[in-house]
């Protein structure tokens, strides 16, 4: 039985392999890619002949025979190749699930990426593979690699992943951490998102840094330099690495900002209400806004941190008219996207459009939790609840 009071978390540490170890690690990544492509092709041929797949256990038997034929496969830790088959098995299974949201599509063949790649190890643990005193991690068939263990682990681990990102090596350990009990206080906040900032229902605003826009000129220059290099040459590889590192830096800047902001919000509030944005349609309209603002990333980080620290998160339906609803009298006033100030024709309220929306999102999110004696506020909550699909107070259908 799964313990619902524990949460899986990934802890990432920097690896500093020697040049010989880099060669061995690249060999393991290449072997994992070969096994994936080889057995994916076998599965496709098997399905064409017999209308079924072989899946993991039969593939493991074939893997043993293949390792006897191709001796260079034995340079990889045995569990890394087995985990590759497990991943392929999972990908095949998910591709035929009936649930549309869970369906990932049929697995694809992996291409060689000179500066990125990964492989997974099983049957590892702290006692066998970690030297926290000397900061080293042991990979079977490769040896001890210098590792920067910059924080303690909440528990032991049974699997890990070795990743190469823009020619930088990392160790990713999956551990379990105990969840904190739910908070009993009701300090709530609603968050409205626009292209430039996050607006909280208490009036606080957080400007969204435009890391991609700031690096756009440099990225374009490196892209032009890359296009001029001869394909297959070392100069092209060097140019590709420079471009990868700039994009990697932008991604890390964005991730660092949202990690800190989401942690601050989880520390300060007990109920966090967010709007369910249609990110795909926004991306079709303007892809750079989606990349720079990190809508999906921000929501994902808040949700997992809230679950870990006992904070409630509510995702308000995307069709809830948060921008058209008056936060004072609950009247409906349709306004265009260009209008940045909300003016209510019923009660003459004049308020910033995004702040008004954030207040409505907060009230919609807390409608299920509040038992308020204020008759007007309670009436507003019931009305809001009906708009978002709550038939009775406290019974949400979000």
Residues 237 and 291: their CA atoms lie apart, in Å, by 26
Residues 120 and 84: their CA atoms lie apart, in Å, by 7
Residue pair 279/290 in contact (Cβ under 8 Å)? The answer is yes
Token pair for residue 197? 């900032």
pLDDT digits (tens, 9 = 90+) for 278-309: 767 766 666 566 677 788 888 999 999 999 99
Give the pLDDT confidence score for residue 282 in this predicted structure: 67
Most confident of 5-9, 33-37, 374-378: 33-37
Give the pLDDT confidence score for residue 391 in this predicted structure: 37
Residue, of 144 and 283, whose pLDDT is higher: 144
Query: 274: which DSSP letter?
Result: E
Give CA separation, 53 vs 46, 47, 92, 388, in Å: 6, 6, 9, 44
Query: Of 21-35, 49-63, 178-192, 327-341, which gets the smallest average pLDDT?
Result: 327-341
Give the pLDDT confidence score for residue 388 in this predicted structure: 41
Percent of the chain with pLDDT over 70: 86
* Domain positions in the chain: 6-178, 188-208+240-388
pTM above 0.85, yes or no: no
Residue pair 229/239 in contact (Cβ under 8 Å)? The answer is yes
Q: What residues form DSSP beta bridges with 176?
A: 8
Residues 162 and 118: their CA atoms lie apart, in Å, by 5
Check whether 375 has a pLDDT greater than 70. no
Model confidence at 356, pLDDT cuts 50, 70, 90, reads confident
Give the pLDDT confidence score for residue 385 in this predicted structure: 46
Residue pair 33/117 in contact (Cβ under 8 Å)? The answer is yes
Give the pLDDT confidence score for residue 3 in this predicted structure: 46
Give the pLDDT confidence score for residue 351 in this predicted structure: 85
Give the pLDDT confidence score for residue 394 in this predicted structure: 32
Check whether 393 has a pLDDT greater than 50. no
User: Residue 385: which residues within 8 A CB-CB, separation 6 or more?
Assistant: 364, 367, 368, 391, 392, 393, 396
Model confidence at 62, pLDDT cuts 50, 70, 90, reads very high
pLDDT digits (tens, 9 = 90+) for 26-54: 999 999 999 999 999 999 999 999 888 99
Give the pLDDT confidence score for residue 378 in this predicted structure: 42
Give the pLDDT confidence score for residue 397 in this predicted structure: 27
**Mean pLDDT of the chain, nearest integer:** 85
pLDDT digits (tens, 9 = 90+) for 151-163: 999 999 988 999 9
Check whether 386 has a pLDDT greater than 60. no
Check whether 389 has a pLDDT greater than 90. no
Rounded to an integer, the average pLDDT of 75-91 is 94
Rounded to an integer, the average pLDDT of 266-281 is 85
Give the pLDDT confidence score for residue 343 in this predicted structure: 83
Residue, of 380 and 238, whose pLDDT is higher: 238
List alpha helices for 123-233, DSSP H: 126-129, 211-227
């Amino acid at each position: 039985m799964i313990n619902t009071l524990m949460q899986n978390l990934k802890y990432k540490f920097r690896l500093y392999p020697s040049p010989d170890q880099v060669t061995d690690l690249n060999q393991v990544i290449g072997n994992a890619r070969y096994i994936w492509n080889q057995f994916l092709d076998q599965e496709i041929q098997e399905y064409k002949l017999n209308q079924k797949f072989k899946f993991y256990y039969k593939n493991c038997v074939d893997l043993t025979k293949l390792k006897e034929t191709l001796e260079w496969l034995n340079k990889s830790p045995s569990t890394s190749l087995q985990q590759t088959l497990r991943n392929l098995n999972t990908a095949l299974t998910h591709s035929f699930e009936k649930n549309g949201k869970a369906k990932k599509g049929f697995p694809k063949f992996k291409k060689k990426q000179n500066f990125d790649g990964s492989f997974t190890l099983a049957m590892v643990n702290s006692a066998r593979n970690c030297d926290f005193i000397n900061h080293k991690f042991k990979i079977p068939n490769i040896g001890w690699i210098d590792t920067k263990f910059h924080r303690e682990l909440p528990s032991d681990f049974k699997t890990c992943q070795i990743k190469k990102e823009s020619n930088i090596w990392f160790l990713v350990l999956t551990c379990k951490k105990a969840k904190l009990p739910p908070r009993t206080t009701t300090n709530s906040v609603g968050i409205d998102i626009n292209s430039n900032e996050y607006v909280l229902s208490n009036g606080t605003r957080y400007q969204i840094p435009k890391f991609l826009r700031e690096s756009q000129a440099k990225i374009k220059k490196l892209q032009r330099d890359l296009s001029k290099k001869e394909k297959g040459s070392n100069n092209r590889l060097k140019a590709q690495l420079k471009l990868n590192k700039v994009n990697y830096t932008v991604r890390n800047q964005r991730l660092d900002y949202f990690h800190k902001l989401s942690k601050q919000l989880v520390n300060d509030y007990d109920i966090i209400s967010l709007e369910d944005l249609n990110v795909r349609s926004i991306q079709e309209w303007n892809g750079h806004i989606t990349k720079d603002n990190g809508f999906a990333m921000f929501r994902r980080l808040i949700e997992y941190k809230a679950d870990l620290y006992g904070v409630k998160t509510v995702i308000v339906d995307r069709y809830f008219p948060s921008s058209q609803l008056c936060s004072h009298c609950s009247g409906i006033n349709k306004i265009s996207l260009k209008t940045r100030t909300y003016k209510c024709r019923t009660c003459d309220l004049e308020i910033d459009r995004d702040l008004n929306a954030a207040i409505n999102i907060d009230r919609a999110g807390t409608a299920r939790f509040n038992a308020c004696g204020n008759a007007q506020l309670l009436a507003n909550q019931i009305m809001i609840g009906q708009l978002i699909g709550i038939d009775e107070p406290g019974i949400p259908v979000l």
